[in-house]
Chains A and B, each alone.
Chain A
Amino acid sequence: MAAQTPTAGGSDASTETALYLYGVTWAEAARSQRGAGVHGASVGAIRHRELAGLTSPVESTKVRAKRRDLLNHAEVLKKALEHGTVLPLRFGVAFESAEALVEDFLDPRYAELVQLLRSFEGRVELSVKAFFREEAILGEVVRGNPRIKQLRETTRTSTGSSMYPLRVELGERVAAELQERTLRARQALLDRLSRLAVDVQVDQEPIEHRVLAASFLVERKRVAAFDDAMNELAKEEEPRMQFKYLGPLAPHSFVALSAEAR
């Protein structure tokens, strides 16, 4: 799709079209952007000085999106990342027209967006999740704590209601052990991986058996070293942990605009 260049006069028909916005990139890098976006529309760029908004036309700003559209949004950003630095937008932002995109967003925020893009130059996001495998970690807990081991022996052979307080005690002690082991393991993983990163965002929500959910901002040239570290960690933590490792991604977890003009 040819780039739509908004002009002050705005006589171009394309400026009447509502535009869905995926991300902001350097105008130079936006040239090579291709592919299908929301509702299958082809992706193009709206340039403003050194910046470009990656967009595709939508029927109106009130469009409804489905699963395929979410996947396409992510795919557009992934492709953009292959061509250079990109500031990813959250799903669901659309402007009335190309002029509105420039006048309400790219122009008033020009300096801030340029600065943001520069700050992410040559950097990518890597997402890491680690989970305890329940059977393995519980086995570890039982073997490592004599009182838990003893309570287990007592309560598993007898089912009577007299065992209730002991069961609660057993569970409470297991929960405490799990929490301690989770925090310790999380810190160990963070210590290892943070050294390779420029910045880290940790999701603190306490999900059962989740040891770590974190995003790391990493220099592209250090991604290979990060890969190695992940492989080593996964081997070391076998079989009690399993990992999910995603990236390189655009810096979704690290972009933010200043609040005042939002």
Chain B
Amino acid sequence: MAIATQGTASNYLQRAPSPSGLADVVELILDKGLVIDAYVRVAVIGIELITIDARIVIASVDTYLRFAEAVNRLDLTQTEAAGLAELRDGGGNGDGKTKGMVEGAKDAFSKDDKEKERAKRG
């Protein structure tokens, strides 16, 4: 199967010709496509559904406190420079400083993709 990321103009753009990670495939062929109700019979087993990790936005005090904390943690003088260096190094996998802060992007960068990224970097 093709490598997930091709050469793109930006480190912030991940381009793939076909779904390579399980998360992509699950989203594409379990949620979409022609369906003939009476004939859906094949059971799917042993699939770790990683896409459900994505955090749905909920307006609640808990959410507000989490945002308040995230904002308070920010180092405004370093935000931009640090953010850039991190992405250039890590391919945007949210390690280091942004750890725990990018749950929303989990379905974009699935475990599969991370493994691939690591393998590629050696």
Contact = CB atoms under 8 A, between A and B. Distances in A.
A20 interface: yes
Contact of B65 (A89, A171, A245): A171
Contact of A249 (B28, B35, B66): B28
Interface in A63-105: 63-67, 70-71, 73-75, 77-78, 87-95, 104-105
A134 B99 CA distance: 10
B31 to A, nearest CB: 8
Interface residues of B, number: 72
Interface string A204-220: 01111110000000000
Contacts of B25: 70-71, 73-74
A238 B83 CA distance: 10
A135 interface: yes
A143 B77 CA distance: 11
Contact of B72 (A63, A88, A152, A257): A152
Interface stretch (A4-12, A192-200, A228-236): A228-236
B44 to A, nearest CB: 5
B42 A170 contact: no
A237 B43 CA distance: 42
Contacts of B108: 129, 131, 242, 244
B97 interface: yes
A77 B25 CA distance: 11
B79 A92 contact: no
Contacts, number: 266
Given A134-B98, A239-B12, A242-B13, A142 B76 contact: yes
B67 A170 contact: yes
B119 interface: no
A138 interface: yes
A46 interface: no
A221 interface: no
A167 interface: yes
A174 B63 CA distance: 10
Given A208-B57, A234-B9, A238-B10, 14 more contacts: A90-B35, A92-B44, A134-B104, A135-B97, A136-B80, A152-B71, A175-B64, A178-B67, A207-B56, A239-B87, A246-B15, A246-B19, A252-B29, A257-B35
11 contacts: A58-B42, A64-B42, A95-B39, A105-B36, A142-B74, A152-B72, A171-B68, A227-B15, A234-B8, A243-B14, A247-B17
Interface of A: 20-21, 23-24, 38, 58, 61-67, 70-71, 73-75, 77-78, 87-95, 104-105, 127, 129, 131-136, 138-139, 141-143, 148, 152, 155-156, 167-168, 170-172, 174-175, 178-179, 205-210, 227, 230-232, 234-235, 237-239, 241-249, 252-253, 255-257, 262
